[in-house]
Amino acid sequence: MAPVLNLLLKAYGIGVPTAEHPDPLIAPQATLMASVAKGMFGGQLPWGMISIGAAIGVAVIVWDQWLKQRGSEFRAPVLAVAVGIYLPLELAVPIFAGGLLAWLVEKKLGVHGETPRPSAPSATACCSPRASSPARR
């Protein structure tokens, strides 16, 4: 992956516009990480925004636990919510549409997103010393 990124950097530039690459490829994750690193070492992190994000994260976790206790089919995993908040709208909408389509297909087919387990024992269970010992037969 590093050679590809290096090639893209030399050909188009990545992140900040320069005289050599006035229209570089966008790199939101790199920009975010650079901002956090500069803020940590420069002492200028926007603690208000970080506090708001932490509060939203705690609220989503509490909400998800409440949904779990109710036995709800709908859940709100904090990582999925965070990615949904972080991604730009042009990426979040197709991901949401794909998830909605998958949910509709699962409802229609009666499948619940789990891979069926094989009825035969796994190779690990068959070949383990405990499974083949005379005491287990």
pLDDT in tens, 94-121: 988 998 999 899 888 887 656 655 555 5
Which one, of 40, 60, 62, 64, lies nearest residue 52 by Cα? 60
What per-residue confidence (pLDDT) applies to 92?
Answer: 85
Q: Does residue 53 sit in the same domain as residue 97? A: yes
pLDDT tens digits for range 16-70: 788 888 888 877 677 777 777 888 888 888 888 889 989 999 999 999 999 999 9
**What is the pLDDT, as a whole number, of residue 14?**
79
pLDDT at 42: 83
| Domain extent at residue 107 | 46-111
Domain check: are 36 and 51 in the same one?
Answer: no
- Per the structure, the count of domains in the chain is 2
DSSP letters along 11-68, please? HT-BSS--SS-SSPBP-HHHHHHHHHHHHHHHT---HHHHHHHHHHHHHHHHHHHHHH
Residue 121 lies in a domain: no
